Amino acid sequence: MKHDWAAAQALLILACVAVPVAGCALENEAPRRAESVVLLHGLSRTDRAMRPLAQYLTEAGFDVHNLRYASTEKSPEGLVEDLSEQVAACCDDASALHFVGHSLGGILIRAYLAEQPPANTGRVVLIAPPNQGSELVDVLGDSALFRWALGPTGQQLGTEPESLPNRLPPPAVDVGVIAGTGTVSPLASAMIPGEDDGKVAVARTKLEGMKDYLLVPNSHTFIMRSKKVGAQVVHFLRTGRFVHAP
């Protein structure tokens, strides 16, 4: 019996070495690191806005880092520096590091990846991003009150060629863009040509070289809270594609 038990253990070890399968981890084998996702909220928001999406991604098995940053207080350079420090502190050892940003958060992700993309960078999802700027900033940017509300970075989100989003290169990774077609701001929508989400024209959410693109019937303000959007984010992070209705 002892010989039979020893033989069975030896066969199990050999099987694990030859064909690693679930439940076959060896005693001294290091556990697999989870894939991490960094979430970044939009202008004048906090991490609270991204909590529903953070919960959805956590339940899907990702190690989620829902970051907060002072969106209206610093220049783009200052915000990217803060983001860099937070990412270095949380995610250096992730097996893959994905990024998901809403609105300005997506633009800051682009700025960060343009400077120093981590070696373990995975995929990126940009939700309602002003990838080519927003006409709202063009129209209201001369207002002192509006400029104060936007802060130094928000003021650079116009559509001119030298605006922050228009001077950034596309990330050199798989990027998926989700844009909304609903609005809760009819007055703002009246200032934006074509279809929009109440803050950004649909046409201006598009990004050169993006891997996939999806339209959903949500407004800019609440798009990141949608469970359907959460499901699409998970699918893209796992496959590099969204699910498109037939």
105 and 178 belong to one structural domain? yes
114 and 177 belong to one structural domain? yes
How many domains would you assign to the chain?
2
pLDDT number for residue 64: 97
Residue 143 belongs to domain spanning: 35-239
In degrees, rounded to 5, the angle at the alpha carbon of residue 160 between the alpha carbons of residues 152 and 219 is 75
The whole-model pTM stands at: 0.85
Residue among 157, 154, 132 at smallest CA distance from 145: 154
Residue 139, in any domain of the structure: yes
What's the CA gap between 100 and 176, in Å, rounded?
Answer: 9
Residue whose tokens read 């050199």: 172
142 and 170 belong to one structural domain? yes
H helices within 155-210, ranges in order?
186-190
Mean pLDDT (10-residue bins), the chain, 246 residues: 45 38 38 81 96 97 96 96 94 91 98 92 98 94 84 95 96 96 93 96 98 98 97 98 92
Q: Which helix (H) or strand (E) holds 191?
A: none
Bridge partner list, 196? 201
Do residues 107 and 127 touch, judged by C-beta distance below 8 A?
no
Indicate the DSSP class of residue 201: B
For 135, other C-beta atoms within 10 Å of its C-beta total 20
What's the CA gap between 168 and 77, in Å, rounded?
Answer: 13
